[in-house]
Copies of this chain bind each other. A is one copy, B any other.
C-alpha cells in the first residue's frame, strides 16, 4: 500500500480544512448540530437554497400562481433547465440532459432504446451491480423478449467485446466504490457493436466526470446522493447530443412529445434528450433539486473530487490501523466518494456510531460505508468520526441488543 498523504493529528486536519479550496461550499448546507454526516452517498443533506426554493415553489408559485405557474414560473422548462445545471457536473452539454422519473424508470427507457439502436437482444448486468439495475434488466428482458446475461464483477467489459449487447453498469459501484473506466468500456462496446448504459448515481457530485471526453453514449443517475437534491429527488437521463434523434423511448408519455399541448393523436418525439421525459414532472421535488445544485456554483469539481479522495484516504488508513479490511480500492484514483469497510457485525457498529452522532450506513451483508461528500465534510469531521469508530470497536458497545436490532432501512 502506498503511503497516504493524510493528517497525523487533529491539528493537521484543522490545517487542511483551512487550506481547503472548496471550504466555502459547506456554508450552503443546513446541517443539524451535533452530527457528523458521512452518509451523503445515500441521502445528501439539505441546503438553505433547496429549502428556500421548495418553499417558494409551494407557497408562492403553486398557492398564488396556480395553473399560471406552468408558464409564469417556467415549471414546464424545469426538467431541461435543471438538466442544464447538471451538465457542468457531468462533463456534458447543457442540452444533453433531461431531469425526469427515477433511476429505475430511466434505466428501463435507456436500455430499451439502446437495444433497438444496437440491434441486439442481449442485456448484460454484473452480479455486483446495484440491485435495482439488475431487477430493471430482468424486467426489460421479460417484456422485450431479450436475453439477460449475468456476469461476474467487472466482467461486463469482456462480455461487451465478445458480442453485441447492452450493458447496464454503475460508474461507481454502490458497495465497493470502485470507479469503472468509462472510455475502456465504450471502446469495448464499439468493438462488439453494443452500448453501455451508465448509472451515475454513486458517481455524480463525488468524482470528476467528463462524459464527453470519456465517449459516453448514454447514462442515468439519481440526484439525492452527492447532488443533495432531496429524498427521492427526480433522476436524469443523459444522451450524447447526436444520438438522441436516433433513439426511441418505450415509455412515450406526453412530456416527451414534440408538441405536448397540441393533443395530436400520434406520437412525435422531441428532437433531443427531452424525448426521454414521460409524465408530468414533480415540480416540488424538482424545485428542491434546482435550489440544491446552487451549492456547486463556483466549485471546481476537480478540486472537490481531490478532496473526496484525501478524505477517503483518511478513512482507509484509520480503518487499516484498526485492523479492519477495506473493501474499497486503497488507491484513491480508483475510488469514488465513499469508503466501504468490512465488519461481520457492521450493522450494529454503524448503529452504535449513529448513537454517537456519526451517521454512516451499512449494506448487507457486511459493508459499513463512510461517505465523504467533499462539499460539506471537513477533515476534522473524518478525524473525529474515525476516533468514534475506534472507541466503539474498543468498547464493544456495538455488541448489545440495543444496536443489534434490525431496522427496515439500514
A interface residues, how many (CB within 8 angstroms)? 94
Q: Which of A88-96, A206-214, A246-254, A317-325 contacts B (4 or more CB under 8 A)?
A: A246-254
B67 touches A361 (CB 8 A): yes
A105 touches B251 (CB 8 A): yes
Contacts of A234 in B (CB 8 A): 282
| A147 interface contact, C-beta 8 A | no
A72 CB to nearest B CB, Å: 10
Contacts of A313 in B (CB 8 A): none
**B-facing mask of A259-275, CB < 8 A → 1, else 0?**
01111111100000000
B232 touches A283 (CB 8 A): yes
Cβ contact of A233, chosen from B101, B140, B143, B282, cutoff 8 A: B282
A58 touches B62 (CB 8 A): no
Cβ contact of A139, chosen from B76, B249, B264, cutoff 8 A: B249
A58 touches B105 (CB 8 A): no
**B-facing mask of A63-75, CB < 8 A → 1, else 0?**
1101111110001
Residue of B nearest to A283 (CB): B231
| A81 interface contact, C-beta 8 A | no
Q: A63-B30, A138-B266, A253-B105 are in contact. Are A359 and B68 (CB under 8 A)?
A: yes
Contacts of A267 in B (CB 8 A): 134-135, 138-139
| A183 interface contact, C-beta 8 A | no
| A407 interface contact, C-beta 8 A | yes
| A279 interface contact, C-beta 8 A | yes
Q: How far is the CA of A248 from the CA of B141 in the complex (A)?
A: 13
**B-facing mask of A36-49, CB < 8 A → 1, else 0?**
01010011011000
Cβ contact of A230, chosen from B71, B143, B284, B361, cutoff 8 A: B284
Q: A54-B54, A265-B150, A280-B222 are in contact. Are A135 and B250 (CB under 8 A)?
A: no
Contacts of A104 in B (CB 8 A): 251, 253-255, 278-279
A134 touches B265 (CB 8 A): yes
Contacts of A257 in B (CB 8 A): 131, 135
A409 touches B39 (CB 8 A): no
Q: How far is the CA of A139 from the CA of B409 in the complex (A)?
A: 35
| A2 interface contact, C-beta 8 A | no
Contacts of A364 in B (CB 8 A): 261-263
A324-372 at interface with B (beta carbon < 8 Å): 354, 359, 361, 363-364
| A306 interface contact, C-beta 8 A | no
Q: How far is the CA of A282 from the CA of B283 in the complex (A)?
A: 11
A408 touches B261 (CB 8 A): yes
Q: How far is the CA of A54 from the CA of B131 in the complex (A)?
A: 30
Q: How far is the CA of A54 from the CA of B57 in the complex (A)?
A: 11
B39 touches A66 (CB 8 A): yes
B51 touches A108 (CB 8 A): no
Residue of B nearest to A201 (CB): B280
Contacts of A354 in B (CB 8 A): 68
A66 touches B37 (CB 8 A): yes
B71 touches A254 (CB 8 A): no
A130 CB to nearest B CB, Å: 8
| A136 interface contact, C-beta 8 A | yes
Other A-B pairs, 11, CB within 8 Å; known A62-B230, A283-B285: A51-B58, A68-B359, A75-B232, A101-B279, A131-B264, A136-B251, A136-B253, A139-B250, A232-B283, A233-B282, A261-B364
Q: Can you list 29 A-B pairs, Cβ within 8 angstroms, ordered by A? A: A30-B63, A32-B66, A39-B66, A43-B62, A54-B284, A55-B58, A66-B359, A68-B354, A70-B409, A75-B231, A101-B279, A102-B278, A104-B253, A105-B105, A127-B265, A131-B257, A134-B266, A135-B253, A135-B256, A138-B252, A139-B250, A139-B252, A142-B252, A150-B265, A230-B283, A234-B282, A261-B409, A262-B364, A283-B285
